[in-house]
Amino acid sequence: MTKLDNYIYFTICEVTLDLYSKTKFVTYTNYCRTMCKSIESAELDKREMSDVMAIVNMLKLIYNMDTDESVKYIKNYFKSDRCNDFKKCVSMTKNVFPFSFN
C-alpha cells in the first residue's frame, strides 16, 4: 500500500464518519459491515447510494479520481478491516485539531 492509498483511505474514513453520524447505526463498525454487504451484493438502498456518491464526489474533488477508480477504493475500504484502523487516526486527528474539520 502506498502513501497515496493511505491518504485516499483516510479521506474515505473521514467522509464516512460524517455520514455515519447522520444514521441510526449504533457503531461505525456496523455501518461499515452493512455498506460492505450492500456493495458486494450490488443492492444499495437510497441512503447507501447517496453515501457512496458523496465519497466518490469527495475523491473526485481532492484527488481528481474517476468514478471507477473511486469505487475500487471504496470496495477495498469496506471489504477489509481498514474501517477500524483509519477510524482511530481520523478520531485522534479531529481531537487534536478540532477546528480544521469544520
CA separation for the pair 16, 21 (Å, rounded): 8
pLDDT tens by residue, 75-102: 999 988 788 888 877 877 777 776 655 4
Average confidence score pLDDT of the chain: 88
Neighbours of 88 (CB within 10 A): 10
Domain ranges of the chain: 8-93
pLDDT tens by residue, 33-90: 999 999 999 888 999 999 999 999 999 999 999 999 999 999 999 988 788 888 877 8
pTM of the model: 0.87
CA separation for the pair 32, 28 (Å, rounded): 6
> Using an 8 Å Cβ cutoff, are 13 and 90 in contact?
yes
pLDDT of residue 98: 67
Polymer length in residues for the chain: 102
Closest CA to 84 of 22, 16, 38, 19: 16
